[in-house]
Structure 1
């Protein structure tokens, strides 16, 4: 069973101290060798996660100790990785659907071209904005990046966030980004409806024939 508590009376020279569990309970002995992995040394007041072991002398010691802060960061990275993997698979599936719709004749090739061109432009916009942020230059407005995603550049935006590590940790930006993805997908699937097909025949196709 895992417990969480604060380190007390830590003697860094001797490498031991005690831990008081949160909410009260059995105080336990803490030794530096019980930290797994031993990445750094604790300080008084630091929160740790540990297993409680009852020794033969009726005393308690903490084993398999980890820093609570490290565990929290590890969980965040794990969730971010899972979200990134899902986004990657989702984007690949969408690209496959676009190609299938084009090759089956349901959509004109211009739709594929639009997504490719807008994705390249959007990826480039992210790269420029990251460079500007690093060199304290004029930044690209977030509304511009979202507009590029909305009109077809969201696959490029996704890969820019992943590869360039830009705008990938800003929660509010990510929420708006996924709204643009949903809206763009709604428009994409609308093109497969009767009204969408008429729009392609009466608006897009004549433009291609100009």
Structure 2
């Protein structure tokens, strides 16, 4: 079955879906149409009975009616338990490091929540633009928001919107940002020992290079 490229024209509800096999059926008027996972133009989450699907009318290899170029109307998935647990674990070190400062914890919570909401909105906007083939939000803008403290919102957006999850290099950069926040939190607990060491190394190398240049 080859998915067509035109915009989905029809809407029907899933009446049966076998998640282990990756296929099911939708009810369109009085017809029961076969739908396979590979016939989705965009895959967001496992379909459920009663969920609406937009699709094009097509024929399978045996010339039987089936749904093709399918799009899930509800493109927001529920966050899995493991994803929530990992997020909570990633927040432990930054929160503990903040508690060791003179600042109130609510200030950190308010800032992170605000940046996360902004980042989530940026993800949702970019997802909508991708669906409409509109001008996309540059990836560096999303990473900048994550670096500024909105990475928890990006973590939630990736899980719920299924956006940017399959891009390997983007995920590599995203995890670098998370690791950066973890390292900063750890370094703060060590009274910025590692930052000072890095600073000394950089400045000593710079002074050495300048000295060599003057001797020439």
When Rg is computed on C-alpha atoms for both structures, the one with the higher figure is 1
Could you say which TM-score interval applies, normalised by the shorter chain? 0.3 to 0.5
| Structure with the larger helix share | 1
TM-score by length of 2: 0.46
Structure number with the bigger relative contact order (C-alpha 8 A, sep ≥ 6) is: 2
